[in-house]
């Protein structure tokens, strides 16, 4: 079980990071730091603690940009039970962090491109409220791009995340398989959103009864 520290702002100063490291070391728990960025003395301190103290700690750049990043961090905070430092609604400074400000997750998987946090210890009631809020935003949105991002956030909160690993004997083969998987995913999403009809001409056959009573403009259009 890992501890999670969330920050909307960049973490650069050593005094910003030491209290969280001391808490993680005291609790003997791995620490995942997700922030706008971690650099300077703060990053150096993380590396030294990893090498000399043996503390399991990792720093990750928060995903997205602007409002999308802020909303994603709020989702993470609710899902893990973490306080978001740097948020306008939170006046607590990161150097005054306590154990209650850290979130918790049962499992963390990190690669150079992706981070997966599983089974966060956030309050289930708050998570459900957040899901309802995002669902309402999807219904009210008129932007396809915004709806796509909202649906991604909704899936992550509602335990709808899946990881597809695609392999092949060459880059060309992998690219071809990726295209096929992308087509399948798009077809599945369209089916979920808009429904499906049986194939093989069955849908047309079943519609004939209703079409018999339909008067077309001319004989060519009449079925």
Three-state SS letters, 99-161 = HHHCEEEEEEEECCCCEEEEEECCCHHHHHHHHHHHHHHHHHCCCHHHHHHHHHHHHHHCCCC
DSSP H/E element including 6: strand 2-11
- The secondary structure element, H or E, covering residue 42 is helix 40-48
Q: Is the pLDDT of residue 34 over 90?
A: yes
**Average pLDDT rounded to a whole number, residues 38-48:** 89
Q: Where in the chain is the domain with CATH 3.50.7.10?
A: 2-122
Which architecture, in CATH terms, is 2-122?
A: 3-Layer(bba) Sandwich (3.50)
Please give the pLDDT value at position 88.
73
Rounded mean pLDDT of 30-48?
A: 90
Q: What does the pLDDT read at residue 223?
A: 61
Average pLDDT of 2-28?
90
Q: What does the block give as tokens for 18?
A: 């030491």
pLDDT digits (tens, 9 = 90+) for 74-121: 999 999 999 999 877 777 888 889 999 999 999 888 888 888 888 888
pLDDT, position 183: 93
Residue 218, classed as helix, strand or coil, is coil
Q: Are 17 and 42 in contact (CB under 8 A)?
A: yes
What mean pLDDT comes out for the span 186-211?
84
């Amino acid at each position: 079980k890992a501890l999670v520290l969330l920050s909307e702002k960049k973490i650069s100063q050593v005094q910003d990071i030491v209290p969280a490291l001391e808490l993680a070391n005291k609790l003997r728990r791995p620490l995942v730091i997700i922030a706008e960025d971690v650099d300077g003395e703060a990053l150096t301190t993380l590396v030294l603690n990893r090498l000399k103290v043996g503390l399991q700690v990792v720093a990750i750049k928060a995903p997205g940009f602007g409002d999308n990043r802020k909303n994603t961090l709020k989702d993470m905070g609710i899902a893990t039970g973490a306080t978001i430092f740097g948020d306008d609604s939170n006046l607590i400074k990161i150097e005054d962090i306590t154990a209650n400000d850290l979130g918790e997750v049962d499992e963390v998987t990190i690669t150079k491109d992706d981070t997966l946090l599983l089974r966060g210890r956030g309050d289930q009631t708050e998570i459900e409220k957040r899901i309802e809020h995002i669902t309402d935003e999807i219904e009210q949105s008129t932007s396809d791009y915004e709806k796509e991002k909202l649906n991604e956030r909704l899936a992550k909160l509602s335990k709808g995340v899946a990881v597809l690993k695609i392999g092949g004997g060459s880059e060309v083969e992998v690219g071809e398989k990726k295209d096929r998987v992308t087509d399948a995913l798009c077809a599945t999403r369209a089916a979920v959103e808009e429904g499906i009809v049986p194939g093989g001409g069955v849908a047309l056959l079943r519609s004939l009864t209703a079409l018999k009573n339909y008067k077309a403009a001319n004989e060519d259009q009449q079925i």
